Structure 1
Amino acid sequence: MSYSPQVESFRRLHESGCFVMPNPWDFGSARWLRGQGFPALASTSAGFAFTQGRADQDVPRDMMLAHLADLVKAVPDLPINADFENGYADTADGVAANVKLCIATGVAGLSIEDATGREDEPLYPFELAVERIRAARRAVDETGSGVLLTARAECFLTGHPDALNESAKRIAAYAEAGADVLYAPGPKTPEQIATIMAAAGGKPVNQLIYGDFGLSVSDIAGLGARRISIGGALARAAWAAFIEATRLIKEEGSFKGFAGNGPSSPLNPFFRDDLKARS
């Protein structure tokens, strides 16, 4: 079966090796990352939420769909993987319907989380979580798009008391339910990462790196990860510099926060040339 060039490219990237898939949060950051030669990009729900004056998980579905369509337009020659949170629905049927809407934006892949967003029950019950992935799988297949489905086990990020073992259990079940890629954000050590790799049963695994864990790209590749994403880390880095600079101005009357900024020269020529190239 023939798919779009972006989907075909994305599928090939998952066949062997390991690639880094950074996360832009708007048009400009997407164009910059494309200009650095990354082969695929992924959205970040947190990074985009901040641009809208919202907390992560507080972006409504239709606003997120419009953002995903904008990212696809920003880099039409690259695959975009959508951080589609929990599918914006609790029920399996609701997830399936929304997955089809997500695919219609032109993304080459999408991820579905098993986090509910509720404090009283942070993870969907195991059987429901698996059924949600089965429903997402059916929805992708019904579109005939070939879009890659990533299933996420959010045990670490939701504070599960036995996060590693519960993640492994869910990852194995999601692989059986038809996920193309498995993803358990949170593991930081080689031993934890290896446990997730084993649970995936040979299917591609996405490893999240959101801080300096003492692991390089080659280290992570050596552990068997097929791809590396960095979530909202780049967006948080930009906000961290912004927050510190404004703190210095407000609290100390100092502009020392600008010291490391440097000139705008890397940005202006890049974006001028980039605009000419895409015009």
Structure 2
Amino acid sequence: MNEQQTLAQQFRSLHRPGEPLVLVNAWDAASARIVAAAGARAVATTSAGVAWSRGAPDGDALARDQAVDVIRLVAAAVRLPVTADIEAGYGDTPDEVAETVTAVLDAGAVGVNVEDARHDGNGPLRPVDDQCARLAAVRAAADRAGIPLYVNARVDTFLRGAGGVPETVARAEAYLAAGADGIFVPGTVDPETVAALVAAVPAPLNVLAGPGAPPIAELARLGVARVSLGSAVAEAAYAVARRAAAEAFGAGTYDALTDALDYGTINALMRD
């Protein structure tokens, strides 16, 4: 078993209902190093943060090669399993999505998120059969590479206002049958809803957390297996940059930088 296969197996083992894997999503090599040093068991990328770092909006606007370049840098920066948010797969067809997965595996990732949201104006979500074909292509590409890739199928029913628990569960079951390993349902952290999803979805459940969400201990009690912070940390970092700029250009002071990590600490984290 090679190192990537070992990391893939390790990553799979971290998905335990009631003992959630906490993912503080990174968007470049530096943020990945910081997250790893804070005690991460794995590192996830945020597609929004990756896109913003490349000067592009989130929502399938970034070129595949640009996204893969960042994933490669993140994977090389840490000695942990890396899972990549690849949006809808950076491709219009299942074959193109498979090409993306092959490239992501070559970059060193051992997990992917694949969403069913659409960004082409043809409705909020892809038809179930269409998404299943894409997920089957993801699984086939991983099998060809010999990597037990963890495929986290993102169901955007709540995020897009396209359904509730029944619709989410129906999609989840179809996606699991197509080759997914876990189900990611962003857009709700209501305890009753989360508990219903945990009970009905026959796979590890991933939720998106942040300000206003129940604490991780409560999500664990509900049976969640994975908690992601998504783009929240990138948003917070960019908020500091904006506050510091506004303060410097306006009041001419520097209070926004008071709690910054010092140069030496950051520089030390960048040394292998």
Do the structures match in fold with TM over 0.5?
yes
Superposed counterparts of 1:82-101, under 5 Å: 82-101=84-103
Consecutive unaligned residues in structure 1, runs of 5 or more: none
Give the aligned residue type for 1:6: L
Aligned to 2:174: 173
Aligned to 1:9: 10
Assess if the C-alpha contact under 8 Å between 2:85 and 2:112 holds in 1: yes
| Aligned with 2:73 (options 60, 70, 73) | 70
Deviation of 1:206 after TM superposition, in Å, equals 1.3
> CA-to-partner distance for each residue in 1:17-54, whole Å, 9 max, x for gaps?
21211111111111111111111110011112112221
The secondary structure found in structure 2 opposite 1:212 is coil
Q: Give the stretch that moved more between structures: 225-234 or 176-185.
A: 176-185
Superposed counterparts of 1:116-131, under 5 Å: 116-131=118-133
Root-mean-square deviation over aligned CA pairs = 2.0
Give the aligned residue type for 1:193: V
Q: How many residues align?
A: 269
Superposed counterparts of 1:185-264, under 5 Å: 185-201=186-202, 203-213=203-213, 215-250=214-249, 253-255=250-252, 258-262=254-258, 264=260
Aligned to 2:116: 114
The secondary structure found in structure 2 opposite 1:197 is helix
User: Do the aligned partners of residues 239 and 173 (structure 1) sit closer, same or farther apart at CA in structure 2, a change above 3 Å counting?
Assistant: same
Structure 1: distance between partners of 2:26 and 2:141: 26
Structure 2: distance between partners of 1:263 and 1:153: 37
User: Do the aligned partners of residues 275 and 47 (structure 1) sit closer, same or farther apart at CA in structure 2, a change above 3 Å counting?
Assistant: closer
The secondary structure found in structure 2 opposite 1:4 is helix
Structure 2: distance between partners of 1:5 and 1:270: 31
Assess if the C-alpha contact under 8 Å between 1:153 and 1:184 holds in 2: yes
Deviation of 1:131 after TM superposition, in Å, equals 2.0
The secondary structure found in structure 1 opposite 2:136 is helix
Assess if the C-alpha contact under 8 Å between 1:87 and 1:112 holds in 2: yes
Aligned identity (percent) is 33
Deviation of 1:233 after TM superposition, in Å, equals 0.2
Assess if the C-alpha contact under 8 Å between 1:109 and 1:149 holds in 2: yes
Structure 2: distance between partners of 1:272 and 1:237: 21
Structure 1: distance between partners of 2:191 and 2:144: 38
Relative to the length of structure 1, the TM-score reads 0.88
User: Do the aligned partners of residues 219 and 144 (structure 1) sit closer, same or farther apart at CA in structure 2, a change above 3 Å counting?
Assistant: same
User: Do the aligned partners of residues 275 and 44 (structure 1) sit closer, same or farther apart at CA in structure 2, a change above 3 Å counting?
Assistant: closer
Relative to the length of structure 2, the TM-score reads 0.91
Report 1 or 2 for greater relative contact order, CA contacts < 8 Å, sequence distance ≥ 6: 2
The secondary structure found in structure 2 opposite 1:82 is strand
Assess if the C-alpha contact under 8 Å between 1:171 and 1:184 holds in 2: no
